Amino acid sequence: MAASWGFTLFLCVLLMVCRGLSLAGEDPDQTLSSSGQVKALNPEIDNALSSNHGTTGEGGHAVEPITTLPIVSWKWHHVTTPYLVALWILVSWLCKLVIEANHHVTSVIPESALLICFGFILGGMIWAADKVQTFRLTPTVFFFYLLPQVILDAGYHMPNKLFFTNLGGILVHAVIGTCWNAASLGLSLWGCQMGGAMGDLDIGLLQYLLFGSLMAAVDPVAVIAVFEQVHVNDVLFIMVFGESLLNDGVTVVLFNVFDAFVSLGGPKIDAAEIIKGIVSFFVVAFGGSLVGLVFGLLISLLTRCTKNIQIIEPGFIFVLGYLSYLTAEMLSLSAILSIVFCGMCCQKYINANMDENSVQTVRYAMKAFANGSETIIFVFLGISAIDKVIWVWNTGFILLTLLFVLVYRFIGVFFLTWILNRYRLVPLEFVDQVIMSYGGLRGAVAYGLAVMLDENKIKEKNLMVCTTLIVVYFTVILQGITMKPLVMWLKVKRAAVTEVSLLEKLTNKMFNHTLVAIEDISGQIGHNYMRSKWKYFEENWMSWILMKPSARKKQDQVFDVFHQLNLKDAMEYVTEGERRGSLEFVRNENSIIDFKKKSESESFDINNANMSNDHGAMSTTSRDPIPSVSLEMHEQIMKAVREAEAINAHHLLDQHLYKSRKQHRHRFSRSHFDINRDEKEVQEIFQRTMRNRLKSFTSAKMGVKPPKTIVKHTQKEQQQKMPNGKSMDKAKTSYSGDEGLISFVHPAGIENPAFMPDLDPMDLLQIPPWLGESELDSSMVALSHRAQVDLPRTPSNLRRLAPLRISTRSTDSFTLENIPDTQQMDSDQLQPPPPPPRPPRDDGYV
Amino acid sequence: MGSIVSRLLSRLLREEEIEDIEEIKKETGFSHRKITRLYRRFTSLDKGGNGTLSRDDFHRIPELAINPLGDIITNGFFPEGEDQVNFRGFVRTLAHFRPIDQDNEKNKNPSATEPLNSRTNKLLFAFRLYDLDRDGKISRDELLQVLRMIVGVNLICSTKTPKGGI
């Protein structure tokens, strides 16, 4: 904490220095806040400042004639603009640094709220130094330089499948919900003014509607920032997030329409104008999306040809994305929709076309830009408040706006969801609806629009700006802070009153998995016909045009998942090796300690499990001791388990039960890259499943199978455990048709057999398609007996691993992994493994 | 399926392709639209085009591979000893997952056969998932087996040590 205070002090000093400098130099206000601005900023500020400084605006380059040669000279005027810009970016990011230093605070108060508070402090300092607010969030800077990258990031990382599955609901909320919010807010406020609740205000009905329209939009930046703290499920997240993105189409239209109406004046509005307004909605929304799509296709096509300039390949995404935003803005269409659809459209193709490094670069750079922009936005939102000139206080107006914004949001969401639930297969629950309503945060977009109002037409612009600011602060800070406790309270309230027994938990978990499986078997929820038609079109036409031929071949989904898992494994393996000093693994004596720690930890809520902790703990405990040590450790561990209470068993199971898909967090995060799935879990399950299938497969064939299949299949399997002879398979013999095949070895050396369910071997004569056609670009590494036990996760594409032969002890189907290279499909190496003499219903273990 | 014309017609109507659709409706309680949609799904899964699904067809569903109970669920579709499931069997199994009809529960008519999605039948289906060897009983090992399947690698399960609390 001392460090952070030091930082703050440093910031203050820095700012003071800057203020002093800017006072000496030309007017910095012009550079930051009025360059190229569409509507004039508050003219009083400009006048005040220029009269303050007394210097003329530009032309700091006019130098007096020199009398002697200057060795060095002070050229502040030279660098004012870029210097201040860079300085402000630095300051904002330093604020974020200070905030993130302390996790206790950020878990209670969302980061966005803290950033706004920092903005207050900074604004206060500047105002104290200057007596006027020279820095503020201006619409130009916001809409052109800060917002696009945030939205591009959102579009690029959007989970398309989830989005389009729920598109109906999202659209309903975005369009109808926003219109309802705008209309109800405007009309209610106008009604209140008529009723005299707000004193004497010079605002007409149209202006109220205009105000309502700019206040109605849920802000994507704020939504993401707050939802990071709260773990909500996929569907809920995508509903709110999608709505916040798509409602820009409506907001732009409403704002422009009512702005035009205000200019036209009341009498000139007739049916024709209104119809034009409605038509303009469709034009703006669809036009914006179309522009985005076109640019998305452009990007995809481009990346198809950029093989030779892989270094700057990532840059194209950003440039073209930005261009799509500007093009839509130029055509007065919805710019946010454009850039969202650009990102959504191109993500699949550029990920396929570009080189792995470029893809990583794009992801990281986008996150960096988006995160950075968001930080700056929130800090400046705070700063902009500390400005005496704009503050007009009207209690009635402000309080009523706050009240109506909240109430109408709730009403709107509940009503629309009630309608939607009649058509949805999986209805949205009450808790979800509450979160959706409460999560309708307003943010910088509303503020930007408010500042863009023309005060010649709207006399009470300052009041509106103030109200917008207060609403933004209320939603972001207060609702952000209370969102998490509210969710916890609601969920706890709805949870079972009685303590759930272990068996119940297990069964619930099992049912979850079952339901997910049935969902997958029965196909996606929704319009499957359209989806299959689209898939057909997409596979045959779009992929053909937009993807490189080599990329197209890799489109097999299962292979893709495995490819990613392989990569993850490889990277982890190497970092583990580096961490330990060498690639040679030594016995891990710490495994028992870690295990004990895990069993004593107290986390109840699965959803709050810290993913990074899981990773770290798992990787340390995944170190396998060699068999000779395993027995002792087994004993020790057994003792530890026996000593543990039943509560500990509960905790343990809680932590270790595989999460079903419903429990995974939402897939979008501003600051983390892979937060949705515990990769290890998925990996484990996948490998185990594949191993099971392979075992039944090979057991059926008994050596008749062509080696090709074995090779291709096991290339994907990394977790090949050797049985260490201490099988606990006595019980297995009771199962008929059971190979009793070992599927994985416990890290401490105990086997953990997963039985094969009844499978008729003859069924599996067919080669599963993903086996048959996948191409292999990594070679298999054969592991020695020791290596297999030691190295549970051996990536197959690390050639540095000693390509050792499998020991002759292994006579079971596990020896399938002893194929060193796919090219040499040595059949003689494979003959020993599935030994013909071995009968299928044998001694259960190998 | 007869001539091309009737094929085209049936593609429009989607009824003749599904034999016994009325019987399926009565047995499972699905609506016409749902049965049609399920039939489309069935045919898209059925790569061999012979009107039945084999285990491999289920294995082709990628999400099942990362479901710890995927294989067990797949087995639930195949009746005892068989490895092909036709559309009727497919829909019959899926019918277990329909929401419970509230009015049926109130109707305590013991002589009428319960619909497939009654509480009892749902429980029966779940029971069969646990009962891996289909002997009508869930042994301790079977329970542990399922537990192992849905628990992560790091957890020790030993048949020797009784776990408290289960």
Question: pLDDT tens digits, residue range A663-675?
Answer: 554 556 666 665 4
Q: Which residues of A touch B47 (CB under 8 A)?
A: 769
Query: What local confidence, expressed as pLDDT, does residue A395 receive?
Result: 84
Most confident of A248-262, A518-532, A651-665: A248-262
The answer, yes or no, to whether residue A633 has pLDDT greater than 60, is no
Least confident of A140-149, A160-169, B46-55: B46-55
Domains held by chain B: number? 1
Residue with tokens 């103030």: A466
Most confident of A311-320, A545-554, A821-830, B60-69: A311-320
Q: Is A521 at the interface with chain B, CB within 8 A?
A: yes
Percent of chain B beyond pLDDT 90? 0
Work out the average pLDDT over A706-726: 35
pLDDT band per the 50, 70, 90 thresholds, residue A342: very high
Most confident of A445-454, A683-692, A821-830, B98-107: A445-454
Nearest to B163 among A518, A649, A735 (CB): A649
Residue type at position A559: F
CA distance A281 to A294: 20
The answer, yes or no, to whether residue A761 has pLDDT greater than 80, is no
Query: What local confidence, expressed as pLDDT, does residue A634 receive?
Result: 53
Q: Which residues of B touch A754 (CB under 8 A)?
A: 145, 148-149
Work out the average pLDDT over B108-113: 53
Are A246 and A174 in contact by the 8 Å Cβ rule? The answer is yes
Q: Do B75 and A522 touch (CB under 8 A)?
A: no
Nearest to A752 among B65, B83, B157 (CB): B157
Work out the average pLDDT over A739-745: 33
> What is the crossing angle of helices A205-215 and A461-473, to 10°?
30
Q: Which residues of B touch A689 (CB under 8 A)?
A: 64-68, 70-71
Residue type at position B112: A
CA distance A18 to A191: 48
CA distances from A444 to A142, A441, A671 (A): 8, 10, 19
Are A220 and A343 in contact by the 8 Å Cβ rule? The answer is no
Q: Which residue of A lies nearest to B38 if distances are taken between CA atoms?
A: A522
CA distance A651 to A653: 5
- The verdict on residue B160 lying in a domain is no
Among residues 720-779 of chain A, which lie with CB inside 8 Å of chain B?
Answer: 728, 730-731, 734-736, 744, 746-748, 750, 752-755, 757-760, 762-764, 766, 768-770
CA distances from A364 to A109, A219, A300, A370 (A): 26, 23, 19, 10
Nearest to B68 among A595, A685, A730 (CB): A685
Query: What local confidence, expressed as pLDDT, does residue A647 receive?
Result: 55
Query: What local confidence, expressed as pLDDT, does residue A492 receive?
Result: 63
What sign for the dihedral angle of Cα B119, B121, B126, B130?
Answer: positive
Q: Which residue of A lies nearest to B93 if distances are taken between CA atoms?
A: A518
Among B53, B67, B146, B163, most A C-beta atoms within 10 A, so best to mutate, is: B67
Q: Which residue of A lies nearest to B45 if distances are taken between CA atoms?
A: A521
Closest listed residue to residue A448, CA positions, set A537, A377, A545: A377
The residue ranges of every structural domain in chain A are: 139-490, 502-577
How far is the first Cα of chain A from the last one, in angstroms, to the nearest whole number? 58
The answer, yes or no, to whether residue A417 has pLDDT greater than 70, is yes
Give pLDDT tens digits for A762-811.
Answer: 333 343 434 433 333 333 333 334 433 333 343 443 333 333 333 344 34
The answer, yes or no, to whether residue A184 has pLDDT greater than 90, is yes
Work out the average pLDDT over A491-504: 62
**What are A672's two structure tokens?**
């983390």
Residue type at position A779: S
The answer, yes or no, to whether residue A628 has pLDDT greater than 70, is no
The answer, yes or no, to whether residue A318 has pLDDT greater than 90, is yes
**What average pLDDT is seen over chain A?**
68
CA distance A37 to A33: 8
The answer, yes or no, to whether residue A37 has pLDDT greater than 60, is no
Nearest to A658 among B62, B152, B158 (CB): B152
Could you write out the DSSP letters of every residue in A592-653?
HHHHHHHHH-----GGG--HHHHHHHHHHHTPPPPHHHHHHHHHHHHHHHHHS-HHHHHHHH
Nearest to A757 among B71, B150, B152 (CB): B71
Q: Which residue has the higher pLDDT, A614 or B150?
A: B150
Among A506, A514, A521, A726, most B C-beta atoms within 10 A, so best to mutate, is: A521
The CA dihedral of A537, A539, A544, A546, to the nearest 10 degrees, is: 90
Are A262 and A205 in contact by the 8 Å Cβ rule? The answer is no
Most confident of A116-120, A204-208, A677-681, A740-744: A116-120
Q: Which residue has the higher pLDDT, A626 or B150?
A: B150
Give pLDDT tens digits for A569-581.
Answer: 777 777 777 777 6
pLDDT band per the 50, 70, 90 thresholds, residue A637: low
Give pLDDT tens digits for A41-63.
Answer: 333 333 333 333 333 333 344 55
CA distances from A369 to A16, A112, A150, A223, A335 (A): 28, 16, 7, 18, 18
Local structure of B53: helix, strand or coil: strand
Q: Which residue of B lies nearest to A729 if distances are taken between CA atoms?
A: B159
Burial of A807 (0-12, 13-18, 19+ CB in 10 A): middle
Closest listed residue to residue A443, CA positions, set A480, A412, A497: A480
| CATH number for B112 | 1.10.238.10
CA-based nearest distance B85→chain A, Å: 12
- Name, in order, each residue with C-beta under 8 angstroms of B43's C-beta and a sequence gap of 6 or more: none
Least confident of A89-93, A166-170, A325-329: A166-170
Are A826 and A601 in contact by the 8 Å Cβ rule? The answer is no
pLDDT band per the 50, 70, 90 thresholds, residue A612: very low
Percent of chain A beyond pLDDT 90? 15
Least confident of A266-275, A417-426, A735-744, A812-821: A735-744
- Name, in order, each residue with C-beta under 8 angstroms of A541's C-beta and a sequence gap of 6 or more: none
Query: What local confidence, expressed as pLDDT, does residue A648 receive?
Result: 58
DSSP β-bridge partners for residue A745: A751
pLDDT band per the 50, 70, 90 thresholds, residue A730: very low
The answer, yes or no, to whether residue A314 has pLDDT greater than 60, is yes
The CA dihedral of A681, A685, A690, A696, to the nearest 10 degrees, is: 150
CA distance B13 to B32: 11
Residue with tokens 């609506």: B31
Q: Do B153 and A506 touch (CB under 8 A)?
A: no
Query: What local confidence, expressed as pLDDT, does residue A748 receive?
Result: 37
CA-based nearest distance B165→chain A, Å: 6
Q: Do A521 and B38 touch (CB under 8 A)?
A: no
Among A508, A512, A516, A522, most B C-beta atoms within 10 A, so best to mutate, is: A522
- Whether the complex's predicted ipTM surpasses the cut of 0.90: no
Nearest to B83 among A521, A653, A763 (CB): A763
Residue type at position A693: R
CA distance A730 to B103: 49
CA distance A810 to A814: 7
Query: What local confidence, expressed as pLDDT, does residue A291 receive?
Result: 94
CA-based nearest distance B40→chain A, Å: 8
Burial of A61 (0-12, 13-18, 19+ CB in 10 A): exposed
The answer, yes or no, to whether residue A606 has pLDDT greater than 60, is no
- The verdict on residue B157 lying in a domain is no
Question: What domain range is B116 assigned to?
Answer: 2-151
**CATH 1.20.1530.20 corresponds to the domain A139-490:** yes
Cα angle value A275/A278/A279 (rounded, 5°): 85
pLDDT band per the 50, 70, 90 thresholds, residue A735: very low
Q: Which residue has the higher pLDDT, A506 or A377?
A: A377
Give pLDDT tens digits for A87-132.
Answer: 999 999 999 999 888 888 888 888 888 999 999 999 888 888 887 7
